[in-house]
């Protein structure tokens, strides 16, 4: 039963597959009742981390505790976790009702108590009218709900979701996202959510960890990660399209980009030197003055417009809030909003504050 | 209009050619069995008539002789059922868990064990008759059901393991992982989640093991006797030292093969699946 | 390469494997050891006074034994011919049946028939009801067509052809069913694409169908080769290896040496040779399969 | 099972007479059951005359391996009388003809004693004795407790058969049923063409030529062509001997002598010229089937095939058949087979079972049982290969056998009396291998795989190898 706990700690988790290092030493703290997302491209180690938390993989090194108790070597069944798999892993030979009831049966819940619990879980995800169907007779969305119901019916202390929305179509994905969030609120269970879709992570998670190449590159709230990327790697990954990263020079509280000097009001105490300046496409404007750029291609996105341009041969993307005519090959002038410029150290690749 | 008609005519011609070719091949495959049926309905003199006659006065006497005559194969029928049935049950009970372990679990030396089972399948039966005879004699199991079943197990077991492994490998791993997370033990996962999903595979295995046991001849002759005399041996009562009673032999053989033919027809889909398992893989899981 | 490593996995696996393994070891170890042991012995029932350790004599004898090489040659011809025929006819039949608009089920059902019949029955039936001169229906048909008489089982080459026909008749349905299933599972869009690319029927078959059903073909070849190498009952019932030694493949030669000549020692060595041959052939085929697919 | 087995042959005669299908369906079972009951009620009173205790092995169980054949079926039918008389539980086990030798060898060599006795091929006794697998029967014959020699009268058994089952004068097998090889011909066809049974091999070929008319589906003659020690190597040795061949040159077995080649040439010539194609694969049942269909003018084979060609359910030439002795060869000799099924005693048995087996052997080979399974048998099939001279002189038996064809009795008894030859086939422990090698060579020549000369030379080389070990 949900007892309000579910604090997960990973320390120095390593996992190798032969010569491939899947996890290179993961440290992570997930707070109780938090909705926590693991975000990263495929092969970055996020799914492996989830499977370590579930107990489906045993780490080669490191420890994992839940509520202070070491579970590094505990069997999955001993951890009181529930998981929704990417392909749902519904038991095809059982009805929806039997699928949802299965964990209860395995948990030794008396047979008479199972149906009401199953019905309740099914109601929560609104599939109580489908109880007697088999997975093969359900739509993708219904299957997904069934998997959700099977996961929540037992009230685990940890709720793990492995790319649960990736097999749904776009429309359904949006709806389900909202529903998942709602479900989390009502259940109050620590939820770990793996996704490669940053928009999903942003909108749904309380906090998130960004994975790259078997390492966590940043942990924080979606706002932190989006607005204060810790390092170049995160900066280059987060955002759609991600930040423009341009080499520049910092001098006297100002950054020099392509010969244009942009004064930064909020950073002045730093010594002069080379930097990498990051700025999101939406924080660039097209104006009469500014850095000259040659337009390569402009894309009409309906409400907004994405302009692909080049500054001194380097690609720059600009998101304009309204659609206007810009011809390919035309030269425009770009203005960077000074208070939205992020600076990174080209050597350590870390953020400069 | 004319073009459409021409098109239609071309298609008709094509279909006629296709059906003619297919029909010819159909005939080639069906004919020997059909002819055996014809022969079984003839009298012994009629069988030997040349040129062979397609029109004759059919008789069921051969069937009656084969069923209730002096050389009735009915007792052997029972024997075959017992031997094949026991072999099948034991094989499946032993092979399914073993196949699961081979397909899914980490086990030291698994490769070698797999190789060993494959090799045992390749040993020419000719080389095994003598040692089996010696062993069974030592334990007093010559001409016993248990002896025959043990011998058949050595052939059916590697085959069944091999077949079941392909089915087990087809089940997504997430199924078991989900079960483990649902607090199922390894055994429960196997019992509640894996087994029901390989029911089709088990059915195929049952059919093939039964079929092979039923059709076996060499070991049945050498290691069986008055007590264990399967149908394949009993049929030979119509091939005596003095003469071969072809019509009765045909009738007996057809009766002896009838259960297999029925199984073949009834489980046609499963058999095809069994034959194709592993072969069509890569064309999707299901 | 995901693996679920649990402490109990090894012991649970051992528990599942153990019963099968115990049965297999108990029932096959002794026979196998006995087979190898006797292949290094002189065991000739007709000359018990010579019995004793023979070292490699039996194997040495094999090298100079024309009968052995003859049977190896026949085994090669038999295996190659039956496998090629089964695959070629099976594939042709499958392509044909796939194209007929209705009635495919009839072929599937008829194809089951030979497979479920005992080889010993098939051999016996073909020997007399089909092939026997002046008696068999096939002989009659061939004569009626003006092609005969062919002394099917009575002359060396026709006899070899006959046992190959028998084997092919019985087992082509296997290839047919497997290939029919794989052909039916092929995605139609590939063909549509090929058609748009203006590939003709032959090109479509060669460049699309064949590569796509390659895995199935390879499996069929492997399984059929293994079965052909161990063929026994049907030939035994049809020709007994004759006339002369015209159809005496290695399996029958080993049988005759052990059970008719009563030279168990040499017979065992021949059985071992057959085992080794089977392992080499299937090993090579398996290797080809994994090498190409991975 | 054994009880049901006896009856199928009895049915055939009934089928013959029955007019309506339904009546047929009901009748045979009843009659054969009656036949079996009568057979079981075989009169055993004369056994009491034997001055031995028939119940001395009471309680023993023995299995005797036999092969499907009419004579064993009849024996099986009367077996209950034996069991009742002796308190022994004897059972016959049917094994297909192709496997019985192998199974017996497997059993004997592993000393399992599975078969107390079995229907043995006389050519195997050298092998059995060399290995000490079977007991010499003089142990039993000379034991007054187990044998009343006067009553049993072993000497009454056909001499050639006794010889064929003895090694160095010691008996090892008890002949049960056997045959003589005789000429079988169509008397109607021969009469039509003014032919008579051949006296010499030359005449035999001439007759075949005169009859030969393949266009009308009539072939001159046929002999066993199928490969095997008991198939073509059954018929060839007779020809070999008639050509004056000698198997042994001192200690050495010679198979490529001039006479051997001449005999082989004669055989191949006859079969390739006057036999239907396919004869290369013919065994005796195939010959009998062909003759029964009226497609053969003549053949030379066991006299017991008379039963098949005289069976109207299978034969179209009933009443058109006559028999004669083997034609003489160039050496002036006739050579018939001395083939018989006999019962040895497995040396691996415990003493009590040995005694039980001996009692079975005595009982089976006794005049009474021989008669009870032959002309006195209530079923339709009467054995024609009884083992005793006295029976061959018995009028009732002769009358029954004479029904199978003209001159059968005369040809057979004369053959037994004058044409048997102890050296019909080379007797030695390696016979199975030698016989098989010869059989392969003969068939290879017949099908043209090799010339007679080459085939025999190769066979000689192989046989030298076999005998050297």
**Each residue's pLDDT tens digit, C112-161:** 888 888 888 888 888 877 887 766 788 788 878 877 667 788 788 888 99
Q: Give the strand order in the sheet containing D117-118.
A: D89-94, D61-66, D117-118
Read off the pLDDT of each residue in D288-298 and give the average, rounded to a whole number: 91
**Whether residues B59 and B76 fall in one domain:** no
Position C45 in a domain: no
pLDDT of residue C260: 82
Which domain range does residue C174 map to? Answer: 67-293
Q: What span, in angstroms and rounded, lies between the C-alpha atoms of A243 and B211?
A: 68
**Whether residues B49 and B86 fall in one domain:** no
Do C111 and B29 contact (CB within 8 A), yes or no?
A: yes
pLDDT of residue C289: 66
Q: Which of C229, D146, B178 is nearest to A143 (CA)?
A: B178
Least CB–CB distance from B181: residue in A83, A86, A93: A83
Q: Give the B:C interface size as CB pairs under 8 Å.
A: 262
pLDDT of residue C292: 53
Instruction: Note the pLDDT tens digit of each residue in D98-110.
Output: 889 888 988 898 8
> Going by beta carbons, is chain C in contact with chain B, meaning 3 or more pairs sit under 8 Å apart?
yes
What b-and-e string marks burial along A267-295, b requiring 16 or more CB atoms within 10 Å of the CB? eeeeeeeebbbbbbbbbbebeeebbbbeb
Q: Hey, is C51 helix, strand or coil?
A: coil
pLDDT of residue C143: 78
CA distance C12 to chain A (A): 14
Check CB contact under 8 Å for D443 and C244.
Answer: yes
B285 token code pair: 């899981």
Q: If you ran DSSP here, which 8-state letter would residue C26 be given?
A: I
Instruction: Note the pLDDT tens digit of each residue in C39-86.
Output: 998 888 777 777 788 888 889 988 988 889 999 999 999 999 999 999
β-pairing verdict for C52-53 and C41-42: antiparallel
pLDDT of residue B1: 58
Q: What span, in angstroms and rounded, lies between the C-alpha atoms of D293 and D287?
A: 10
Do A193 and A161 contact (CB within 8 A), yes or no?
A: yes
Position B152 in a domain: yes
Position B284 in a domain: no
Q: Which of D235, D301, D283, D215 is nearest to D442 (CA)?
A: D235
pLDDT of residue A95: 92
Read off the pLDDT of each residue in D245-258 and give the average, rounded to a whole number: 93
Q: If you ran DSSP here, which 8-state letter would residue D277 be given?
A: T
Out of B24, B41, B63, a domain closes at B63
Provide, as residue numbers in chain D, all residues whose Cβ is less than 8 Å from the Cβ of B142: 112, 114
**Whether residues B93 and B149 fall in one domain:** yes
Average pLDDT, chain D: 87
Q: What span, in angstroms and rounded, lies between the C-alpha atoms of D113 and D132?
A: 13
A14 token code pair: 């390593």
Position B175 in a domain: yes
Average pLDDT, chain B: 83
pLDDT of residue B285: 26
Q: What span, in angstroms and rounded, lies between the C-alpha atoms of D458 and D438?
A: 10
Provide, as residue numbers in chain B, all residues whose Cβ is less than 8 Å from the Cβ of C117: 33, 215, 257, 260
Do A293 and A311 contact (CB within 8 A), yes or no?
A: yes
Q: Which of D137, D301, D293, D304 is nearest to D223 (CA)?
A: D301
Position C150 in a domain: yes
The distance from CA D161 to its chain's CA centroid, rounded to whole angstroms, is: 11
Q: What percent of chain B has pLDDT over 70?
A: 94
Provide, as residue numbers in chain A, all residues whose Cβ is less than 8 Å from the Cβ of B175: 89, 91
pLDDT of residue A131: 92
Read off the pLDDT of each residue in D456-466 and give the average, rounded to a whole number: 92
Largest alpha-carbon pair distance within chain D? Answer: 67
C58 token code pair: 């039996």
**Whether residues B32 and B70 fall in one domain:** no
Total domains present in chain C: 1
Residue found under tokens 């907004």: A304
Out of B14, B38, B63, a domain closes at B63
The residue that leads in pLDDT, B52 or A103, is: A103
Check CB contact under 8 Å for C4 and A57.
Answer: yes
**Whether residues B49 and B116 fall in one domain:** no
Domain boundaries, chain A: 8-237, 244-352
Position B118 in a domain: yes
D329 token code pair: 């060869």
Read off the pLDDT of each residue in B123-143 and give the average, rounded to a whole number: 83
Cis ω before D312 (30° cut-off from 0): no
Residue D2 to residues B66, B75, C179, D331, Cα–Cα distance (Å): 15, 11, 48, 48
**Whether residues B51 and B75 fall in one domain:** no
Q: What span, in angstroms and rounded, lies between the C-alpha atoms of D230 and D337?
A: 11
Check CB contact under 8 Å for B126 and C232.
Answer: yes
pTM: 0.82
pLDDT of residue A288: 84
Position C221 in a domain: yes
Instruction: Note the pLDDT tens digit of each residue in D88-143.
Output: 999 999 888 888 988 898 889 888 888 999 999 999 999 999 889 999 999 999 99
Total domains present in chain B: 2
Least CB–CB distance from C135: residue in B50, B235, B281: B50
pLDDT of residue D171: 96
Q: What span, in angstroms and rounded, lies between the C-alpha atoms of C256 and D202?
A: 36
Residue B229 pLDDT exceeds 70? yes
Q: What span, in angstroms and rounded, lies between the C-alpha atoms of C45 and C40?
A: 15
Do A280 and A340 contact (CB within 8 A), yes or no?
A: yes
**CATH code for the part of the protein at A8-237:** 3.40.50.300
The secondary structure of D237-274, three-state, reads HHHHHHCCCCCEECCEECCCCHHHHHHHHHHHHHHHHH
Read off the pLDDT of each residue in B85-112 and give the average, rounded to a whole number: 88
Residue D237: pLDDT band (50, 70, 90) is very high
Q: What percent of chain D has pLDDT over 70?
A: 91
Check CB contact under 8 Å for B283 and C185.
Answer: yes
**Whether residues B26 and B96 fall in one domain:** no
β-pairing verdict for A35-39 and A207-212: parallel
Cis ω before B278 (30° cut-off from 0): no
Q: Which of B282, B200, B177 is nearest to A88 (CA)?
A: B177
Q: What span, in angstroms and rounded, lies between the C-alpha atoms of D399 and A260?
A: 135
Residue C211 to residues C186, C204, C205, Cα–Cα distance (Å): 11, 10, 9
Provide, as residue numbers in chain B, all residues whose Cβ is less than 8 Å from the Cβ of A102: 179, 182, 184, 192
- In CATH, A244-352 is 3.40.1190.20: no
Residue C36 pLDDT exceeds 70? yes
Give the torsion through C-alpha atoms of D287, D293, D297, D299, to 10 deg.
Answer: 20
β-pairing verdict for D296-302 and D219-222: parallel
Alpha helices in B41-172 (DSSP H): 44-48, 61-68, 74-104, 110-122, 129-138, 145-169
Position B285 in a domain: no
Provide, as residue numbers in chain D, all residues whose Cβ is less than 8 Å from the Cβ of C263: 433
Q: If you ran DSSP here, which 8-state letter would residue D328 be given?
A: B
Check CB contact under 8 Å for B172 and A89.
Answer: yes
C53 token code pair: 């350790």
Out of B32, B63, B94, a domain closes at B63
Check CB contact under 8 Å for B271 and C21.
Answer: no
Q: What percent of chain C has pLDDT over 70?
A: 94
Q: What span, in angstroms and rounded, lies between the C-alpha atoms of A50 and A193?
A: 8
Residue C258 CB-density burial (10 A; 0-12 exposed, 13-18 middle, 19+ buried): buried
Check CB contact under 8 Å for A57 and C1.
Answer: no
Q: What percent of chain D has pLDDT over 90?
A: 66
Read off the pLDDT of each residue in D280-292 and give the average, rounded to a whole number: 88
D63 token code pair: 């299995």
Average pLDDT, chain C: 83
Q: How many residues does chain A have?
A: 353
Provide, as residue numbers in chain B, all residues whose Cβ is less than 8 Å from the Cβ of C130: 32, 35
pLDDT of residue D37: 58
**Whether residues B110 and B248 fall in one domain:** yes
CATH number (domain holding residue C222): 1.10.3720.10
**What value of ipTM does the predicted structure carry?**
0.80
Q: If you ran DSSP here, which 8-state letter would residue A166 be given?
A: T
Residue D254 pLDDT exceeds 80? yes
Position C7 in a domain: no
Residue D29: pLDDT band (50, 70, 90) is very low
Position C55 in a domain: no
Position B286 in a domain: no
Instruction: Note the pLDDT tens digit of each residue in C177-225.
Output: 888 888 887 777 777 777 787 777 788 888 888 888 887 888 788 888 8
Q: Which of C13, C4, B184 is nearest to A59 (CA)?
A: C4
Number of continuous H segments (helices) and E segments (strands) in chain B: 15, 0
**Whether residues B192 and B108 fall in one domain:** yes
CATH number (domain holding residue B83): 1.10.3720.10
Which domain range does residue B46 map to? Answer: 2-63
Q: Hey, is B261 helix, strand or coil?
A: helix
Q: How many residues does chain B have?
A: 286
pLDDT < 50 stretches in chain A: 1-2
Q: Hey, is D68 helix, strand or coil?
A: coil
Domains of chain D and any CATH numbers: 2-179+340-392 (3.40.190.10), 181-335+417-468 (3.40.190.10)
Q: Is B127 on the interface with A (CB under 8 A)?
A: no
β-pairing verdict for A35-39 and A291-300: unpaired
Q: If you ran DSSP here, which 8-state letter would residue D295 be given?
A: -
Position C173 in a domain: yes
């Amino acid at each position: 039963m949900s007892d309000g706990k579910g604090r997960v700690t990973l320390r120095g988790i390593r996992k190798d597959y032969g010569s491939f290092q899947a996890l290179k030493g993961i440290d992570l703290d997930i707070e109780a009742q938090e909705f926590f997302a693991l975000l990263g491209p495929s092969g970055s180690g996020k799914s492996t981390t989830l499977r370590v938390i579930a107990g489906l993989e045993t780490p080669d090194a490191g420890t994992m505790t839940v509520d202070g108790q070491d579970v590094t070597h505990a069997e999955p069944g001993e951890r009181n976790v529930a998981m929704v798999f990417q392909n749902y892993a519904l038991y095809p030979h059982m009805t929806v009702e039997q699928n949802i009831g299965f964990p209860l049966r395995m948990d030794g819940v008396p047979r008479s108590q199972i149906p009401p619990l199953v019905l309740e879980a099914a109601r929560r995800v609104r599939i109580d009218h489908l109880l007697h169907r088999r997975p093969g007779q359900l739509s993708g969305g219904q299957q997904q709900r069934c998997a959700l119901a099977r996961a929540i019916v037992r009230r685990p202390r940890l709720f793990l979701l492995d790319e649960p929305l990736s097999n749904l179509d776009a429309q359904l994905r949006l709806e389900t996202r909202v529903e998942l969030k709602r479900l989390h609120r009502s259940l109050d269970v620590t939820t770990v959510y793996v996704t490669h879709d940053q928009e999903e992570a942003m909108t749904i998670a309380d906090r998130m960890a960004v994975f790259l190449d078997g390492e966590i590159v940043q942990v924080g709230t979606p706002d932190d990660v989006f607005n204060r990327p810790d390092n170049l790697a995160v900066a280059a990954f987060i955002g759609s399209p991600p930040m423009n990263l341009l080499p520049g020079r910092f001098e006297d509280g100002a950054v020099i980009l392509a010969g244009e000097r942009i004064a930064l009001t909020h950073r002045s105490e730093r010594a002069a030197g080379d930097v990498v300046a990051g700025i999101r496409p939406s924080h660039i404007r097209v104006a009469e003055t500014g850095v000259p750029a040659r337009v390569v291609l402009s894309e009409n996105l309906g409400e907004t417009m994405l302009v692909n341009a080049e500054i001194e041969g380097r690609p720059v993307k600009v998101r304009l809030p309204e659609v206007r005519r810009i011809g390919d090959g035309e030269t425009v002038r770009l203005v960077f909003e000074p208070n939205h410029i992020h600076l990174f150290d080209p050597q350590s690749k870390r953020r400069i504050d | 209009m004319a073009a459409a008609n021409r098109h239609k005519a071309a298609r008709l011609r094509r279909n006629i050619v296709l059906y003619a070719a297919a029909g010819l091949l159909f005939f080639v495959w069906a004919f020997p069995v059909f002819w055996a049926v014809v022969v079984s309905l003839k009298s012994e003199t009629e069988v030997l008539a040349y040129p062979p006659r397609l029109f004759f006065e059919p008789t069921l006497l051969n069937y009656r002789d084969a069923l209730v005559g002096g050389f009735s194969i009915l007792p052997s029928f029972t024997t075959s059922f017992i031997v094949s049935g026991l072999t099948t049950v034991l094989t499946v009970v032993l092979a399914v868990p073993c196949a699961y372990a081979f397909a899914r679990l980490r086990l030291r030396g698994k490769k070698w064990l797999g190789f060993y089972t494959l090799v045992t399948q390749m040993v020419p039966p000719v080389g095994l008759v003598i040692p089996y005879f010696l062993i069974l004699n030592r334990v007093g199991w010559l001409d016993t059901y248990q002896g025959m079943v043990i011998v058949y197990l050595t052939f059916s077991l590697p085959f069944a393991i091999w077949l079941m492994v392909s089915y087990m490998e087809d089940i997504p791993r997430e199924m078991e992982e989900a079960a483990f997370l649902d607090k199922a033990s390894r055994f429960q996962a196997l019992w509640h989640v894996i087994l029901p999903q390989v029911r089709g595979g088990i059915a195929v295995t049952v059919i093939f093991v039964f079929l092979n046991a039923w059709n076996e001849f060499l070991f049945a002759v050498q290691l069986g006797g008055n007590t264990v005399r399967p149908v394949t041996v009993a049929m030979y009562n119509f091939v005596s030292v003095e003469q071969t009673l072809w019509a009765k032999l045909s009738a007996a053989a057809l009766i002896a093969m009838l259960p297999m033919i029925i199984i073949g027809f009834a489980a046609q889909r499963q058999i095809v699946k069994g034959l194709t398992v592993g072969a069509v893989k890569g064309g999707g899981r299901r | 390469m995901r693996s679920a490593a649990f402490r109990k996995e090894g012991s649970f696996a051992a528990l599942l494997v153990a019963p099968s393994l115990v049965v297999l070891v108990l029932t096959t170890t002794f026979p196998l050891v006995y087979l190898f042991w006797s292949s290094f012995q002189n065991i000739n029932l007709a000359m018990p006074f010579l019995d004793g350790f023979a070292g490699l004599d039996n194997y040495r004898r094999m090298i100079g034994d024309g009968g052995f090489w003859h049977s190896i040659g026949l085994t090669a011809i038999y295996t190659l011919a039956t496998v090629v025929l089964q695959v070629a006819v099976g594939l042709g039949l499958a392509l044909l049946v796939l194209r007929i608009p209705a009635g495919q089920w009839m072929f599937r059902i008829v194809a089951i028939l030979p497979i479920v019949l005992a080889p010993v029955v098939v051999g016996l039936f073909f020997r007399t009801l089909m092939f026997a001169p002046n008696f068999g229906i096939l002989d009659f048909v061939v004569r009626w067509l003006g092609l005969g008489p062919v002394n099917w089982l009575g002359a060396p080459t026709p006899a070899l052809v006959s046992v190959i026909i028998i084997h092919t008749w019985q087992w082509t349905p296997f290839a047919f069913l497997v290939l029919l299933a794989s052909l039916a599972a092929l995605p139609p869009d590939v063909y549509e694409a090929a058609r748009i690319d203006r590939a003709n029927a032959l090109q479509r078959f060669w460049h699309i169908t064949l590569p796509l059903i390659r895995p199935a073909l390879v499996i069929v070849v492997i399984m059929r080769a293994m079965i052909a190498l161990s063929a026994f009952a049907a030939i035994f019932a049809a020709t007994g290896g004759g006339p002369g030694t015209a159809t005496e493949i290695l399996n029958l030669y080993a049988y005759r040496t052990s059970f008719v000549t009563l030279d168990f020692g040499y017979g065992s060595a021949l059985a071992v040779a057959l085992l080794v041959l089977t392992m080499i052939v299937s090993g090579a085929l398996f290797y080809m399969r994994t090498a190409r697919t991975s | 099972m054994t009880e049901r087995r006896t009856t199928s042959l009895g049915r055939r005669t009934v089928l013959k007479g029955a007019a309506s299908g339904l009546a047929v369906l009901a009748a045979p079972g009843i009659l054969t059951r009656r036949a079996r009951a009568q057979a079981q009620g075989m009169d055993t009173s004369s056994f009491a005359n034997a001055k031995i205790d028939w119940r001395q092995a009471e309680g023993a169980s023995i299995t005797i391996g036999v092969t499907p054949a009419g004579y064993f079926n009849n024996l099986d039918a009367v077996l209950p009388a034996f069991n009742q008389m002796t308190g022994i539980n004897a059972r016959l086990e049917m094994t297909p003809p192709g496997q019985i030798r192998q199974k017996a060898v497997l059993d004997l060599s592993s000393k399992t004693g599975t078969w107390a006795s079995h229907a043995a091929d006389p050519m195997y006794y050298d092998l059995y004795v060399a290995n000490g697998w079977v007991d010499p029967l003089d142990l039993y014959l000379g034991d007054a407790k187990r044998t009343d020699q006067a009553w049993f009268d072993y000497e009454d058994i056909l001499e050639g058969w006794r010889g064929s089952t003895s090694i160095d004068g010691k008996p090892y097998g008890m002949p049960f049923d056997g045959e003589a090889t005789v000429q079988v011909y169509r008397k109607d066809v021969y009469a039509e063409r003014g032919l008579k049974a051949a006296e010499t091999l030359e005449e035999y070929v001439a007759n075949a030529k005169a009859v030969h008319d393949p266009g009308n589906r009539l072939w001159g003659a046929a002999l066993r062509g199928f490969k095997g020690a008991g198939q073509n190597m059954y018929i060839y040795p007779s020809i070999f001997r008639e050509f004056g061949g000698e198997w042994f040159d001192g200690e050495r077995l010679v198979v490529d002598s001039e006479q051997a080649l001449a005999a082989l040439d004669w055989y191949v010539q006859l079969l390739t010229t006057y036999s239907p194609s396919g004869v290369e694969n013919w065994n005796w049942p195939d010959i009998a089937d062909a003759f029964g269909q009226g497609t053969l003018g003549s053949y030379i084979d066991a006299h017991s095939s008379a039963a098949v060609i005289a069976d109207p359910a299978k034969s179209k030439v009933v009443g058109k058949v006559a028999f004669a002795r083997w034609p003489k060869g160039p050496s002036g000799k006739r050579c018939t087979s001395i083939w018989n099924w006999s019962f040895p005693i497995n040396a691996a048995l415990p003493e009590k079972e040995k005694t039980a087996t001996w009692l079975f052997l005595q009982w089976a080979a006794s005049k009474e049982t021989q008669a009870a399974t032959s002309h006195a048998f209530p079923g339709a099939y009467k054995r024609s290969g009884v083992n005793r001279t006295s029976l061959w002189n018995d009028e009732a038996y002769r009358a029954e056998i004479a029904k199978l064809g003209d001159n059968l009795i005369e040809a057979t008894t004369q053959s037994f009396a004058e044409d048997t030859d102890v050296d019909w086939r080379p007797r030695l422990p390696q016979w199975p291998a030698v016989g098989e090698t010869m059989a392969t060579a003969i068939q290879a020549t017949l099908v043209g795989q090799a010339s007679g000369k080459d085939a025999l030379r190769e066979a000689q080389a192989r046989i030298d190898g076999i005998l050297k070990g």
